[in-house]
């Protein structure tokens, strides 16, 4: 056994709880706070992020305006020309039929019909939202059943 391998038994060393109770305690005089200065005083020290008067990193960093809305609903856009190409006359356009035709991969996100192109066939819409231009073309607002999803 060498001197550097010695260590006290488990539980033999106690942590120093009381400071500033005389030099005999081993934590007297300055009590581990050093000599004078802001951090030696009671209630002393600086706030989080303080850099000694220099403009702190948080204030130096560039900032972006605005915010990201957590509740944003992202619609999958589908134009009229695509519907005219894929659907036959008199068919129902719904998220499920759009998946069957291979236009959508799944029905997780809501669908919005946009007004690019012309619709020559008579189609009925269910469970999809329409843009204002499509509503004007069709001459009617979508019912609650249509704008449900």
Query: Is residue 21 pLDDT above 80, yes or no?
Result: yes
Q: What does the alpha-carbon distance between residue 43 and residue 51 come to, in Å, rounded to a whole number?
A: 18
- pLDDT tens for 88-141 read 888 889 999 999 999 999 989 999 999 888 888 888 888 888 888 777 666 555
Residue 37 pLDDT class (50, 70, 90 cuts): very high
Average model confidence (pLDDT) across the chain? 86
Neighbours of 134 (CB within 10 A): 20
Q: Which two tokens stand for residue 61?
A: 């960093």
Q: Are 115 and 83 in contact (CB under 8 A)?
A: no
Assigned domain for 16 exists: no
Assigned domain for 117 exists: yes
Assigned domain for 6 exists: no
Q: Are 42 and 20 in contact (CB under 8 A)?
A: no
Total of domains in the chain: 1
Assigned domain for 82 exists: yes
Q: What is the CATH number of the domain that holds 128?
A: 3.100.10.10
Assigned domain for 86 exists: yes
Q: What does the alpha-carbon distance between residue 33 and residue 23 come to, in Å, rounded to a whole number?
A: 14
Domain with 110 in it: 76-138
Assigned domain for 4 exists: no
Query: Is residue 65 pLDDT above 80, yes or no?
Result: yes
Assigned domain for 53 exists: no
Assigned domain for 15 exists: no
Residue 62 pLDDT class (50, 70, 90 cuts): very high
Q: Are 115 and 77 in contact (CB under 8 A)?
A: no
* Amino acid 11: pLDDT: 87
């Amino acid at each position: 056994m060498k001197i550097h391998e010695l260590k006290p038994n488990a539980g033999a060393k106690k942590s120093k709880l009381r400071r500033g109770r005389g030099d005999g305690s081993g934590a007297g005089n300055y009590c581990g706070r050093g000599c004078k200065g802001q951090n030696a005083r009671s209630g002393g020290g600086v706030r989080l992020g303080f850099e000694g008067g220099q403009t702190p990193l948080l204030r130096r960093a560039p900032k972006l305006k605005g915010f990201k809305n957590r509740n944003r609903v992202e619609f999958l856009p589908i134009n009229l020309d695509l519907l005219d190409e894929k659907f036959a006359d008199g068919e129902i356009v719904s998220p499920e039929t759009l998946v069957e035709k291979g236009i959508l991969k799944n029905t997780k996100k809501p669908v919005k019909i946009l007004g690019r192109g012309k619709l020559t066939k008579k189609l009925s819409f269910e469970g999809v939202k329409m843009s204002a231009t499509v509503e004007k073309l069709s001459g009617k607002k979508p019912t609650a059943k249509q704008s449900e999803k």
